[in-house]
Amino acid sequence: MALPKPNKKLTGSESSYLVEVIKGMVITLGHVVKNIFDQDRFRTIEYPDVRKPMTPRYRGAHRLLLRPDGGIKCVACMCCPTVCPARCITIVAGENPNDPAEKFPVSFDIDMLRCIYCGFCVEACPKDAIRMDTKIYEINAYNRQDMVHSKPYMINLMDRLKPEASEAYRADHTTAPAGHTPDEAPVAGGHLG
Amino acid sequence: MSELWTEWGDWVVILLRCVFSVAFVMQIVPLLIWGERKGAAYIQDRPGPNRAPIDIPNPLDIPRLLGDVLAARPLVFKPIVSLRAAGLIHTLTDVVKLAFKEDITPDHVEKFYWFIAPVIAMSIALCTFAVVPFGDTFLGHQLKVSDMDGGLLFVLAMTSLGVYGIMLAGWSSNNKFSLLGGLRASAQMVSYELAMGLSAVVVFLSAGSVSLSRIAEVQGQPLSLFGVVEIPALNWNVFSPFGFLAFVLFWVAAFAETNRTPFDLPEGEAELVGGYHTEYSSFRFALFFMAEYANMIVASSVTATLFFGGYNVPLLSPATIREHADLLLGVLGLGAVPAFLTFAVVAWKRQGRPFYSVIPKDDPRQNEPKFFTAVWLGAAGAHGALGVVGFMGGLAALSAWAEMPELGGDLMAVILGITALAVKVLIGCWIMIWVRWTVPRFRYDQLMNLGWKVMLPLALGNVFAAAGWIVLRHELFGPAGGS
Ligand code: SF4
Ligand code: SF4
């Protein structure tokens, strides 16, 4: 696009400003009148009542997945804390009492205040133990401590979202292939509980 | 009755007109903030504020809730209707929020001046309204706070004092952004004040007085079109050629004086953070915020008084209103009924809006259209009743009962005068809002060029031309009054 010459002379009506201002005002008033009579023109989503369907790739709050037998999938391999550019994952590893050959996370904390939602932890995990497919974007708390998501919190995150469907949901999601997306439709009146 | 009136009436009226002129400005401020948000939203194809509700409890719950209040228990109830009132409640919540927010005083500010700056801004804005007449007379009392002869000079003096609030805020905040904001405000004020004062001179010349009451009174006279037709009460200054140019100049200068876009350089957020009010929080910020809107109202009401007849109702001179007070009440009262019924139908039909289909069926907001239908039906009923009272000579009966023959006519004249002024002020404020969301901010050099090289010469030329025309007309047609 050719830029206009910097010293372009204004034409007569432009240099008085007034005519051009009134032209602009006619346009904006047109919008006002149209919007008063036809409010379906608005594209605004009535947020707490209607939620925008997030794309399948949307990176929301982290959740930790369970094996079909109910144990946590994570083996505390420390790949995710290593790859995390924000250094916000803290894992204390311990020996799995049922299977001494395996490690498991005694505690698994993510400081959501530092997380930049890059998704590297999900990419790095060899066990598909951590995912960001919850589509939860309302991550908030009254104090900093509550912004550190703990292991039990992240395991139960999907249950918090849908308490009524928790059992079936968990069964489905602990075995579902990667990339599976829970729900696409806008949730009317949805609450995080 | 009459004796009591003569003894106390003066004081009551003086008090009432003081209260009125403050209340007039302060009542319109929240309305304007709402208008600004909603107007901006509609210009930008958004719905604007529409969430904050007032929950009305079921009347049956009220005794239980009163008990809860007395026992200091939390109030838990299922409202029968949640009123959002098209976003008007947001203004209320804003006031509560600003009043209860933490009031931070930075360490580095010049405390005394920093504290009084918002007070100056707000009180000057309110003072200016003191000389704006909102009616001619009520039982012999002037309808404005102060009947000073130099009315318009007072307005000009006060608006130039108003910049002290901004300048002091900018300087005492002790940071460069605020200081630049304050400097810009004062430079802008100096440049546009001249054009503003000079354009008002044309109005003094035509009215032969600087008293705003006299200026408004002259505009209540009939407008004669080439001596052929006479339109009653429409001798507005804006309809004379010099008056029209003066109006355009005055109105543009008013934008600069109130620091509204396109001349809001003192708070240019792109380059100056928040300008002069960067350091202010809580209610001090609210004072600046309200002062801006109060200034808009004052600027609109001065413009309305100078160029649009002030309290004069078009086509109805004050004498006509007094003479036919009862008839007018009847016609206006019954005439308003269809309008309110239309509003009621519109409110009822809102139930079909997409919004109500996405919220749950048992949500108390679902009852809102029904509530507003009832409100509009009530308003229609009240106006119908007023109309009937008018046709039955209610005002005359009131005057007879109070033993003051002119009471009914004066009441009608005052109510119509205030309504006319309020309508003109609201139209002016809407134009300010409308311009703000249409026009981008001027650059600083453009602002100065416009003020000194365009507006000042035009205003000066206009004064000379108008004065010449008045002298010429005097020579040709003899000493005729009016424009
Ligand atoms: S999303 Fe990125 S920043 Fe957040 S925890 Fe995972 S790796 Fe760290
Ligand atoms: S990368 Fe996966 S398995 Fe390894 S510590 Fe992180 S969540 Fe656990």
For the stretch B260-312, pLDDT in tens is: 878 887 777 777 777 788 888 888 888 888 888 888 898 898 898 888 888 88
pLDDT of residue A112: 92
Point out the ligand nearest to the CA of residue A121: 1
Give the pocket of ligand 1 (CB within 6 Å). A 83-86, 88-89, 110, 115-121
Q: Is A38 on the interface with B (CB under 8 A)?
A: no
CB neighbourhood size of A49 (10 A): 18
Min Cα–Cα distance to chain B from A35, Å: 6
Give the pocket of ligand 2 (CB within 6 Å). A 74-80, 91, 124-125, 127, 129-130
Give me the residues paired with residue B231 across strands: B223
| Token code pair at residue B140 | 């012999």
Which residue of chain B comes nearest to A29, CA vs CA? B43
Low-confidence residues of chain B: pLDDT under 70: 1-7, 9, 140-141, 225-227, 478-483
Nearest CA to B106 among B174, B177, B171? B174
pLDDT of residue A159: 65
Q: Is B362 on the interface with A (CB under 8 A)?
A: no
Which residue of chain B comes nearest to A22, CA vs CA? B435
- pLDDT digit string, tens, across residues B173-189: 888 888 888 888 888 88
pLDDT of residue A49: 77
Q: What is the mean pLDDT of chain A?
A: 77
- pLDDT digit string, tens, across residues A83-141: 999 999 999 998 877 777 788 898 999 999 999 999 999 999 998 899 888 888 888 88
Report the residue from B45, B353, B450 with minimal CB separation from A31: B45
pLDDT of residue A6: 64
Would you call A35 and B45 a contact, using CB atoms and an 8 Å cutoff? Answer: yes
pLDDT of residue A83: 94
d(CA A128, ligand 1 centre) in Å: 15
pLDDT of residue A5: 65
pLDDT of residue B4: 59
* Cβ(B321)–Cβ(B413) below 8 Å: yes
- pLDDT digit string, tens, across residues A120-132: 999 999 988 998 8
Per DSSP (E only), the strands in B73-201 are 79-83, 137-138, 141-142
Nearest CA to B425 among B316, B339, B308? B308
pLDDT of residue B483: 44
Min Cα–Cα distance to chain A from B454, Å: 9
Contacts of B49 in chain A (CB under 8 A): none
pLDDT of residue B3: 59
Min Cα–Cα distance to chain B from A158, Å: 23
Contacts of B358 in chain A (CB under 8 A): 46, 49-50, 188
pLDDT of residue B337: 85
Contacts of A10 in chain B (CB under 8 A): none
Min Cα–Cα distance to chain A from B131, Å: 30
d(CA B363, ligand 1 centre) in Å: 39
How far is it, in rounded angstroms, from Cα B63 to Cα B272? 54
- pLDDT digit string, tens, across residues A4-42: 666 667 677 677 778 888 888 899 999 888 888 877 788
Would you call A46 and B248 a contact, using CB atoms and an 8 Å cutoff? Answer: no
Nearest CA to B238 among B293, B314, B296? B314
Who contacts A180 (Cβ-Cβ below 8 Å, separation ≥6)? Answer: A133, A173
d(CA A106, ligand 2 centre) in Å: 12
A interface test, pick of B37, B43, B363 with most A CB neighbours within 10 Å: B43
d(CA A52, ligand 1 centre) in Å: 24
Angle between the B176-207 and B241-257 helix axes, to the nearest 10 degrees?
Answer: 160
Q: Whose C-alpha lies nearest to ligand 1, atom 5?
A: A115
B48-52, Cβ contacts within 8 angstroms, sequence gap of 24 or more: B48/B87, B49/B87, B49/B90, B50/B84, B50/B86, B50/B87, B50/B355, B51/B84, B51/B87, B51/B90, B52/B84, B52/B87, B52/B89, B52/B90, B52/B92, B52/B93
pLDDT of residue A192: 36
* Cβ(B344)–Cβ(B373) below 8 Å: yes
Which residue of chain A comes nearest to B248, CA vs CA? A18
Report the residue from A21, A44, A50 with minimal CB separation from B439: A21
Q: Whose C-alpha lies nearest to ligand 2, atom 4?
A: A77
Would you call B43 and A24 a contact, using CB atoms and an 8 Å cutoff? Answer: no
pLDDT of residue A174: 43
Contacts of A24 in chain B (CB under 8 A): 438-439
Report the residue from A17, A24, A188 with minimal CB separation from B358: A188
Atom in ligand 1 nearest the alpha carbon of residue A119: 1
pLDDT of residue A7: 66
Name the residue with higher pLDDT: A165 or B312.
B312
Who contacts B373 (Cβ-Cβ below 8 Å, separation ≥6)? Answer: B344, B345, B347, B348
Q: Whose C-alpha lies nearest to ligand 2, atom 2?
A: A125
Phi and psi at residue B397, to the nearest 5°: -65, -40
Q: Whose C-alpha lies nearest to ligand 2, atom 6?
A: A80
Amino acid identity of residue B469, one-letter, is: W
Confidence category of residue A162, pLDDT binned at 50, 70, 90? low
How far is it, in rounded angstroms, from Cα A182 to Cα A162? 11
Q: Is B438 on the interface with A (CB under 8 A)?
A: yes
- pLDDT digit string, tens, across residues B51-76: 888 888 888 888 888 888 888 877 77
d(CA A62, ligand 1 centre) in Å: 9
Point out the ligand nearest to the CA of residue A91: 2
Who contacts A158 (Cβ-Cβ below 8 Å, separation ≥6)? Answer: A63, A134, A166, A169, A170, A173, A182
Of the residues A78, A115, A136, which should be mutated to test ligand 1's pocket, given the most ligand atoms within 8 Å of the CB? Answer: A115
pLDDT of residue A109: 92
Name the residue with higher pLDDT: A182 or B79.
B79
Point out the ligand nearest to the CA of residue A77: 2
Would you call A50 and B358 a contact, using CB atoms and an 8 Å cutoff? Answer: yes
pLDDT of residue B18: 83
Confidence category of residue A188, pLDDT binned at 50, 70, 90? very low
How far is it, in rounded angstroms, from Cα B80 to Cα B69? 19
- pLDDT digit string, tens, across residues B19-56: 888 888 888 888 899 999 998 999 988 888 888 888 88
Q: Is B283 on the interface with A (CB under 8 A)?
A: no
